Every structure is written in C-alpha cells, then in structure tokens.
Structure 1
Amino acid sequence: MLTDKKSGGKLPQKVERRRIVRRMKRGARKVAPGGGNGPVLVAMLTLLCMFWACTGLIDGVKMGGPLGQLYCIVTALAAVTLAAALTLALFWAWGGPLSAQRVEESLARIGFANENGEVPELLSITQDPDNPRIKVQEYETCGLPPSDWRDRVDELQSALNLTILEVENGQDNQHIKLTTAPPASTLPTKILWTPDCMMDLKPFVLALGVDCAGRQVTWDLHQGHAVLAGMTGSGKSVALRCLLYQCITWGAVPVIVDLKGGVGFSRWAKKCRVITSIEDLLPVLEELSTEMAHREKVLAERHYQDIDEYNARPKAHRFDHIVLAIDEAAELFDKTGAGKAHKAMIEQAEQYITSIARRGRASGLHLLLSTQRPDSNTLPPQIKANVSFSACGMANEVLSKIVLDSTAAADLIPRGKQGCFVVSQGADNYVVTQAYYFDEWRLDYD
C-alpha cells in the first residue's frame, strides 16, 4: 500500500483499485488485433488450460463413480480459475512498467502528491530508438501541473535515481512526459578528447563534453560569449585548453590573457598571442575595439547581418573569428588594493571588454572567460548579461550562483569529481556534463 508523506496514512483503497483496473484495461487492449504478442500468448495460455481440463476429464471418466465425477469438476474449476488468474496477471503485466509500484512509492516518499494523497501513476516507459540511454516516462499527473514537476526536478531526480532531461505535456493536460537519462554518477571519470570529437560538429561549434544521455554539449561561437568556472581541481583549465584548441582547429584566432605569468600557456605562443600583463593587454584591447568598429562599418555598408553572411560571399576577403580568452577573469577585474593608476587601467580594460560583450558577436569577436574565485569581482554585471553559455565545475554555492544564478553546480557535482560541469541551457535548465580530457602534450602545436 502506498503511503503519503504529508498525512502519514495509506492512500485510499478505491484509488488503488481504480489504478489496478485501469492497468488491466490497458493490458487487455494489447490482446486486441494489432496488440503485439498479446493474442498469441493468451491463445497459448487458453489452449494449455483446456488441455489440462480435458486431461482431467479423461482421468475422471477412467476413475468412474462419484469420486471420478468430483475429480472432473475440481479439475475443470481449477483450469478455468488458473486460466482467468493467469490472463488477469498478463493483463496487469502488459498494462504498465513492472517498476511502476516502486516508482510511485518513491514519489510518495518525497510527498509528490495531490491534496488527496494521490501520487502520479507511471503509465509507460519508452526507449528512444536513436539513443538507448534516453527513455521517456509517461505519467497520469493526478492534477499536479507541469510547473510542479519542473520546480521539483532536483527532488524527482534524486527519488527516481535518474537525470531528467525534459518535462513536457503528454497527450492531454492529464498526462506528462519525462525524458530521462541515467544519473550523473554513471558518467565516466575521463573521456579523452581526440579530433574525432569534432567530426559531427558544424564550423565554429566547440564541444565541451558529453552529458548523461551520451550527447555532446557544445558552445556555438555564433550564439554569443561563454563563461567557464570551477574551483581548484575542478578540471576548468583542461576544459579551457580543449575549447581553445578547437578554436584554432576551426580557424578562429585566440587571444589569451593570463595575468598569472602565462606559464600555463607557454606552448600556445606558437599558435596565438598570449598576454601576461594589463599593460600589454590595453593596446591589444584597443586594437580589437578598432577592428570591431571597422567590421561593423563594413557589414552595415554592405547590408550584411553578421560575419557569416559576409564571409559566405565568393572570393571575398574574410574576417576571422577572434576569441578573447581571459584565464581567471577576477584577476583582471579586481580593483581591491589597486593604486590609482592601476585602477584606471582596470576600468579602461573593463570598458573595452564590456563593449566587446555587447557588440562583438555579429562582427566575430567572442569572449571566453574563466574563473575560480567566488566573489563579486568575478564577472561585471554588464559582461555577464551578454553571456550565452555558462558552465560551472566543482564549486561552492557562491561561485555557482555567480555563474549559473543557482546552486546547481554545488548541489549536483560531488566533491572531488574532476572534469564534471553543470551547463546552463536556459532558465532552470541545467545539464550535467563530463568535459573531455584534453592531453595537450599529445597534440601538434607546430
């Protein structure tokens, strides 16, 4: 008997009886023509019971007398009863997933029920034909609206031990579908990046890693700017290098800002500019700002919406995509303890970068910011407002809120889980992703 956490009592027996009847009706429909293997199984069961009954009748006739007659009656009744019981059992088994009772008990334990204590009824589980890791669960909602399901996704994932990829309406307002995948704990600890990971991607789409359904999670340069965050040991630096290497592979031009001395990017100087001081950064930002203004003028004069339309012209001078990557952005934007002159340089750099954040996408200038510091200096508001791709690895609640506007990274990523990120894909939609492991020493930088 299912119990409701709110009342502590048993669900009404009439509710359970109604569910059992509905389930058997669904199973009985599978016996109708076109119902799959149902008709064959029922026919075989009926023939088996008839054979048993006939055998019993023959044995009873051979015995003769009152005892033989009684044997015939008992055998016939037993055969009919068994046939009916097994048929009803088949109807029940065909009427819904065998795991339905366990699932509904799990929902009851977290109090996911209506005012009468009824929990949603699991009607079916369907496997995606193109991806066996994805399954669609259909429920009768028992009056719980889709907003309740979306608001309690984290609880539902924990109770059902799965990852909910999507919540959508079913055939009507009384049904709902959950698109699910295995839980995040099933993600591999390391997925080695190789050039083959880019094989199915469109130009200038960069692969961060793989989600619980085995699908690639990507950042499209055409869509805007990106932020990559995570505390020490989260795998942020490895993921950053992987994205930058893909930029180079696609023909984009990275400009890397590393105010920690550039040690982490010593090999990258062969492929792109590496800037290690704010004094060297300001002239570069001025140069990028001038280039952005030039491109905007050209696009406007020739009536192109963006760099891709412009570059698509035959035999045209092409504009390269430029990616300004700032490793540990808080080191650049932090004015704490800075002298007057240094503070003025920070403010000037922030103005340039804010301008790129607001205007750069159409003209092919993109920002890739990374950070590990959980404080207000991490992302200036005007820059954050123009970020379209946010990924946060292992983090505390403060850093997670700064990057994702929620505590999702702190809640969903276990401590010590390297390379695991939560990617924001819209309001209250977060995808747990295992980032590719990028072994730069195996790759050619020449």
Structure 2
Amino acid sequence: MGKGGQGIAPEEDIRSICWDEVKQHQKKGDSWIVIDGYVYDTSKFAKRHPGGNVITHWAGQDATEAYRAFHTNFSRVHKYMATIRIGRLEASDITSADDEVKKDFEELREKAKQLGYFKPSIPFFLVTVGQLIFFELIGLFIICYYGTGWLPWTLSVFLLAAGQAQAGWSQHDFGHLSVFKSVPLNHAMHWFTMCFMKGASCDWWNHLHNQHHSKPNVINKDPDVRLEALFVVGEEMPKRMAKKKKTMPYNWQQGYFFAIGPPLLFPIFFQIMTIRHAIVRRKWIDVFFMALFYLRFAIIYSSLMGVWGMCKFYFAMRIIESHWFVWVSQSNHIPMEIDDDKERPWLPLQLRASCNIEGSYFNNWFTGHLNYQIEHHLFPTMPRHNLYKVTPLVRELCKKYNIEFQNKPILTAFFDIVRSLKHSGEIWYSYYHTYHKL
C-alpha cells in the first residue's frame, strides 16, 4: 500500500470493488474509504478511531493523502486497518486525472523526510514548554511580592494570558504528534500542556481540530464553518443562510464580531464546550487533569485576592488569551475559499483554504509558528520549527500547478478577517432581501 512500507500484502482472493460501489457508502454509519487502492469499511471503526470521526469526512473518497499526512506510526495503524479491509479498487479505477499532482506532492513529502524536516529538536520544545511555567511563575511572583494594585495586577494578568496562549501553541505540537517518536509520550505531554496547564480537554481538541485539518473550510465538515453559525463566511454560506427567515443580522457581523468573537470565544463558548465534552464522553483522564488546573488556580489566587477577585482575574486572563487566539487562528482561513467538498487532492485542498503570515522572530513566537499555516496544513506532523524550511519546495510545486501561495504581513492578515466578514455579510443581505422580497 504505497511507499516506505506503508502497505499490507495483497491477498490473491481479495474482492475487487469499483468506484461506483464505493461512492454508495458515504453516509454516517455506512462509510467506505480508499487508501492506496484498497477499500476499507469504516462504518463501525469510525467511533473507535483515535483521531475522532474525521475519518467519516472521507467516506466514498480516496483518503490516501490524508492518511499519510496524519499518521506517524504506520506499522501500528496497519494492524487496525487489516481488520476492516474489504477489497481493492478495480485496476481500471485506480488512475485519475489528479494522479500527477498527488505523485508530485508525495515526492515532495519524501524529499522533506530525506532532508530531515520531520526530525524534531527536543531542546526547542523544552524551551517552548519551559516558557509556560516561566510566565505563570513570574505572574504569580508579581502578585505575591507587589500586591494586587492595578499595575502589578495588570502586568500579572497579561503574563498569565501570554502563558495560556503559548500553552495553546505547545499543546498543538503534542496533539499533532510532532515532538516525540513515542505516541504515548506525545499524549502524556498533550495532557500536561492542554489539560493541566490550560484546563481544557485533549479529546475535545482532537475531535474538532482533526476535522478542521482534514477538510479545511469545507462547509459542514470543518467545524469552523458550519451553517448553524453566528457568522457567515465565504461566498456560499451567506447565500444558504439567506433562505432562512430568522437569522442573525449578518450585514452587521463585521461590527458585532468585535463584541462576541475575540472577547468571548474562550471565556464563554470554549469554557463550556470543553468541560461538557470531557464529561459527556467520559474522558476521565482529561477531567482529572482539568480539575487539577482549576483547583490549583482557585486555591492560589483566591488566597491572594479573594474568590470574587480570583474570578475577575481569571476571566480577564481568558479574554486576553481569547483575543490572541482568534486573531491568529482566523487570519489564516476566514479570508480564503469556503465551499462544499470538491474532493480535491491534498495540495490544492489545503492551499485554497490556507494562507501564511510573514515570518519574523516576533510573528513566529506570537503565532506559535502557525504563521506558516500552509506548510503546517500540508504536513501536520512536521515540527513547527522546520516549517519555514519546506516553504521553497512548496512554492515551487504551487508554481508548477498554478496554485496561489498567499503570504501576508500580520496586520494585513488581521484586517482581512474583518474585510471578509463584511463582504460575506453584504452577500447575505443581498440574497436575504431577494428571497424574502423585503
């Protein structure tokens, strides 16, 4: 099954299946996928899939490129795959018009491996995790030594918010298995950075983030662009939401974004969703380490400033962190193409949905190297400190296939969020008045 030992030896009596039959199985509870020419029935396995239900987004499709992008330990994965393999594609159905771009991208991936771009620097990640502890300890020291006057209080809350933002980038590294060869060790550090340091659920993050990576900006597959949203984005979503009589006033969304987007995403929405997810899905390890975070925070800061003062301090920290996260995360995707699933190869799929922010020492630190969003989406398991190295190879391949590679100054990227929200709101307004003849 592909290069580098990524396959299972074919059996002579294995069933031959045509694409038309595969396409008939692309519903929830009845899903088949294709990987390297072999067909797998993921209908029941989807619920047990360690990466979440992301696997269902490829039902009826060739998931080979996504499979290679997400996994690091192929020998372990194949043990599970062997139990759900039901056949292989008919020889006449294996080739497609997209084979050339897929072949070139796989060669690019192999070249990146040979150049050592998938090899992590452990000292680098020790520093990134160390800064989380540093920010928290310095923030605590300022409150303990200088008291809770407005200046030390403000300085302390900003330091803790910086630590929380950077913890978000660090847990992202471990969640993508991009630090250690050992999957369990990555998971252990994911619990530490996400659950213990941030008070959020690793399983909740995996559930949402893997879907986003698998089908970025695909309506109703990427959780960030679902139709039941407070905002409409792109060209198509506004038209569909306009058919509904009762909706948000999306023509004002570029304004109310500043009130309910950056300031409230973490303190309200994520706060509720991550705790609910861990409890409802009985992720007790997540619940245990999350409880340690809240217990630790409550005991330390309530003793210094009282319960009410601790609550104000906590939500101020979350509001600052929320602004940080929203502006960084949305700048890479919201201004890009947002549409239904076109079943594109991995390269154009990711490039149409992602853009970069220019690299610099500050930008790299501030964004956790997610300013190299294109490279990260193409190679999600590549250590972030190597993403810039693969950029010339990606640019060269994009040029060959006439695919735009967008790289923006950081302020331009932030402004484009508001600009794109305004544009989508105008589309909704026009179509809403047409549908309802107002």
TM-score (norm 1): 0.23
Which fold has the larger relative contact order, with Cα–Cα distance below 8 Å and residues 6 or more apart in sequence?
Answer: 2
Larger proportion of strand: 1
Larger proportion of helix: 2
TM-score (norm 2): 0.23
Max Rg structure = 1
